[in-house]
Amino acid sequence: MSPATIRPARIEDVPAASRLAAALVRQHHAFDPDRFMLVEPVEEGYARFLSTQVDREGVVLLVAELDGTVVGYLLGGLEGRDWMLLLDDCGMIHDVYVDASARGRGIGTAIVEEAVARLVAMGVPRVVLSTAWPNEAARRLFAKLGFRETMVEMTREAGGSHHSG
């Protein structure tokens, strides 16, 4: 069991959640700067966005709190049928991030399982998420939690330039 308290985010959690979200953005940008945009100031942009998501219907916005400090964050929600993706109504986990200082304690597992439970309670038949290919730790976690690989995104830069990585 996780030592953290997993709970819905409150408006006062937005600054801490925004810092974690920004760390996730920077991690992705570091994986592949051609694919993952980085628009500074990331924290401020996420704070504006997340403040609109707190208590919003159909949104799951969770934090993991350890000893009074927010160390994890998850954003998910209900998604309608998407013909382009051939994806029926589902729950989607958009972001999940646990601060490096708090990893290895089951917090990622706990926050994902709580999000899945909340999405299933909203009536979804499945939960979908994406993870960056180089993020092997996240891929292992999601596989352990019963997520299966269904798509592989591939990117090619305009002009045919090749990015190795």
pLDDT in tens, 117-165: 999 999 999 999 999 999 999 999 999 999 999 999 999 999 866 655 5
End-to-end Cα, the chain, rounded Å:
36
CB 102 within 8 A of CB 4: yes
The predicted pLDDT at position 165 comes to 56
Which residue is associated with the tokens 């350890």? 66
Asked if residue 82 has pLDDT above 80, the reply is yes
pTM of the model: 0.92
CB 116 within 8 A of CB 152: no
DSSP state of 5: E
Closest CA to 5 of 63, 53, 81, 92: 63
CB atoms within 10 A of CB 45: 15
What is the rounded average pLDDT for all residues in the chain? 94
Asked if residue 20 has pLDDT above 60, the reply is yes
The Cα 26–Cα 149 span in angstroms is 24
The predicted pLDDT at position 3 comes to 87
Asked if residue 45 has pLDDT above 90, the reply is yes
Asked if residue 14 has pLDDT above 70, the reply is yes
Range in 8-12, 103-107, 158-162 with the lowest mean pLDDT: 158-162
The predicted pLDDT at position 164 comes to 58
Instruction: Name the pLDDT band for 41 (thresholds 50, 70, 90).
Output: very high
Task: Tell me the CA distances in angstroms from 28 to 20, 51, 67, 130, one per residue in order.
Answer: 13, 22, 28, 12
